[in-house]
């Protein structure tokens, strides 16, 4: 897939105010500070479409972007540690849960995992949470340029082994780097295939 255009549409704290569900939707979510905004920007070849920040928890709303005027890329609030109040975190949890319950046009959710870390319980829990809802998902290992190949292979195997304790089959896994552009084409091809399969 070639990205010809990518534009911000709207930010919401209420799922009911999100755009009408006439176009396919692909969501991105991960633990705070996993590099989500940087990966989104690299994916659509825009430097500042999704706002990056050194402060974890920057994304606090459901952000819709329209790509090629054909599908929505959705930037969801991160889960896990963030320097925000407990009330805000509780609000995010409810908002995200309603999002997954109500968005009938959601084709796939990319869950981003920091490739430098061993399997984190909060990540595994979230993967199982979506899997339990029967929602299509894929995993994206971020910041892989920070690791040697043998380190990346070991961490990926550890994640796969942890998931296979409860999953019969592994979801698609993409190796990515926002710095080097690794994984961009495979992810876009995956999205294009999903779009074509639904037509």
* Residue 1 maps to a domain: no
Residues of the chain with pLDDT under 70: 52-59, 80-92, 199
* Residue 103 maps to a domain: yes
Per-residue pLDDT tens digits for 1-40? 999 999 999 999 889 999 999 999 999 999 888 999 999 9
* Residue 114 maps to a domain: yes
> Quick one: how far is CA 129 from the chain centroid?
14
Which tokens is 177 given? Answer: 């780097």
> Quick one: how far is CA 114 from the chain centroid?
12
* Residue 129 maps to a domain: yes
* Residue 177 maps to a domain: yes
* Residue 97 maps to a domain: yes
pTM to 2 decimal places: 0.90
**CATH label of the domain that carries residue 160:** 3.40.50.300
Give residue 135's domain range: 6-198
Nearest to 28 by CA among 58, 67, 72: 72
Q: How far is CA 113 from CA 31, 130, 137, 145, 175, in A?
A: 7, 15, 13, 14, 10
Q: Is 2 helix (H, G, I), strand (E, B) or coil?
A: coil
Q: Could you give the number of structural domains in the chain?
A: 1
Distance from C-alpha of 199 to C-alpha of 195, rounded to nearest angstrom = 7
């Amino acid at each position: 897939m070639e990205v010809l255009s990518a534009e911000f549409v709207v930010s919401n704290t209420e799922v009911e105010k999100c755009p009408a569900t006439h176009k396919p939707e692909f969501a991105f979510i991960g633990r705070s500070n996993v590099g989500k905004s940087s990966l989104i920007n690299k994916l659509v070849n825009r430097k500042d479409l999704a706002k990056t920040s050194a402060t974890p928890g920057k994304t606090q709303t459901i952000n819709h972007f329209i790509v090629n005027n054909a599908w929505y890329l959705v930037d969801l609030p991160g889960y896990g540690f963030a320097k925000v109040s407990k009330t805000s975190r509780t609000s995010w949890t409810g908002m995200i849960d309603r999002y997954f319950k109500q968005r009938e046009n959601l084709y796939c959710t990319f869950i981003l995992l920091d490739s430098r870390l061993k399997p984190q319980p909060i990540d595994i829990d979230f993967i199982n949470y979506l899997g339990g809802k029967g929602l299509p998902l894929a995993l994206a290992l971020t910041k892989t340029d920070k690791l040697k190949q043998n380190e990346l292979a070991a961490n990926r195997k550890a994640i796969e082994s942890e998931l296979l304790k409860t999953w019969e089959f592994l979801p698609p896994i993409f190796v990515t780097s926002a710095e080097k552009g690794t994984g961009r084409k495979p992810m876009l091809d995956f999205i294009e295939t999903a779009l074509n399969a639904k037509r």
